[in-house]
Amino acid sequence: MNTLPEKDFTNPRAQHGFVGRTCSIVSVGSYVPEKIVTNADLERLVDTSDEWITSRTGIRERRVAAADEFTSDLGAKAASRALEKVGISGEQVQLIIVATITPDMTFPSTAALIQQKIGAVNAAAFDIEAACSGFIYALEIGQQFIMSRTYETVLVIGAEKLSSIINWKDRNTCVLFGDGAGAAVLQYRPGSHGLLTACMGADGSKADLLNMPGGGSRCPATVDSVNAGLHFLRMEGKETFKNAINAMNAAAHEALARCNLDIAQIKCVIPHQANRRIIDAVGERLGVRQDQVFVNLDRYGNTSAASVAIALDEAVDQGIIQRGDLVLLLVFGAGLTWGAAVIEW
């Protein structure tokens, strides 16, 4: 069994006998649609202003997919870029996990559709739904297949076409969200600690704070449900804001404690890109420096499960994250769900 090099932190996986079979993200990729919708564009749709949106959210623009561009298309493009960067063909992928709240259809899974689009003919495929927390949930699930030696190459994707479930007449929600996808290739990398830990949580008693009432077995599509706007995303902004800050802060502290780390040892913190005030409040509670936090919210808005995946890809491409650096991912979403992951890159 291989022994990992000494580090100034604790690998929680090693404590449970997983020293010889860790899981690393060996490549990331992302894709956002070409169409840009600015705050000025939204001023022509609803009673809002660039100043109002920017001051309250930090968002200046977001991407919106074309009418004939679907979640599976966004995810396939992000996945192809991630695979190309590391020189892996679609045929080598053994499992595809897609985190999304905007699947192409209820079934089959978006993962199965992506499998076909990227030629991953040997891969099993399934979706998970943990809203904006989905990417970290999917990473932890994918890691289990690597650590157990079930698969050698796992593809994890966060992809969303949120423009398809947004009420463009609701100024409180239409300004917040955008479309996009991010992907990560997971493999065992000898000598690397990889994904050190992932802390996840949920509180179903607060499900009504952020949801889409229509479309499921409780409220299938009818003329009345469509006319009532039940197939659009709904959010209680103030309560969601408060819960997001508390949950992300608690998850971050738990993840750092598991690894015996101080926040100062983290090279890059990548929080869910939902609201600049949430990001700043969480950062202040954690005591992070401004240069530790990666933010691209102003250009993409909230892309739900794709959010931290897109940001991770950009941080790597910009050289902010390099081999051996410690990265902290923080997420929060409908469910309510939340999570934090510590990664040695």
132 catalytic per annotation:
yes
Which of 11, 272, 275, 296 is catalytic? The answer is 272
Strand order in the sheet with 180-187: 24-31, 180-187, 154-160, 95-99, 124-128
What pLDDT does 11 receive?
81
Is beta strand 268-271 parallel, antiparallel or unpaired with respect to 326-333?
Answer: parallel
Question: Which residues make beta-bridge pairs with 187?
Answer: 24
What pLDDT does 3 receive?
39
Which of 39, 243, 296, 302 is catalytic? The answer is 302
| pTM of the complete model | 0.95
Please enumerate in sequence order all residues whose Cβ is within 8 A of that of 5, keeping only pairs 6 or more positions apart, or say none. Answer: 191
Please say whether the beta carbons of 183 and 97 come within 8 A. no
Question: Which residues make beta-bridge pairs with 195?
Answer: 343
Q: Which of 144, 100, 97 is nearest to 333 (CA)?
A: 100
Q: How far is CA 338 from CA 248, 295, 309, 331, 341, in A?
A: 7, 18, 15, 5, 11
Which of 11, 39, 132, 174 is catalytic? The answer is 132
What pLDDT does 5 receive?
42
**What is the three-class DSSP state of 164?**
helix
Domain annotation for the chain: domains and CATH numbers: 14-191 (3.40.47.10), 196-217+232-344 (3.40.47.10)
Is beta strand 95-99 parallel, antiparallel or unpaired with respect to 326-333?
Answer: unpaired
What pLDDT does 1 receive?
36
16 catalytic per annotation:
no
User: SS3 breakdown of the chain: % helix, strand, coil, rounded to 5?
Assistant: 40, 20, 40
Cα three-residue angle 56-61-67, rounded to 5 degrees = 130
Phi first, then psi: what are they for 215, rounded to 5°?
110, -20
Query: What type of residue sits at position 148?
Result: S
> Which pLDDT tens digits describe the chain residue by residue (345 residues)?
333 444 667 787 665 554 568 999 999 999 999 999 999 999 999 999 999 999 999 999 999 999 999 999 999 999 999 999 999 999 999 999 999 999 999 999 999 999 999 999 999 999 999 999 999 999 999 999 999 999 999 999 999 999 999 999 999 999 999 999 999 999 999 999 999 999 999 999 999 999 999 999 999 999 999 999 999 999 998 999 999 999 999 999 999 999 999 999 999 999 999 999 999 999 999 999 999 999 999 999 999 999 999 999 999 999 999 999 999 999 999 999 999 999 999
Considering Cα of 211, then 253, then 269, then 193, what sign does the dihedral take?
Answer: negative
302 catalytic per annotation:
yes
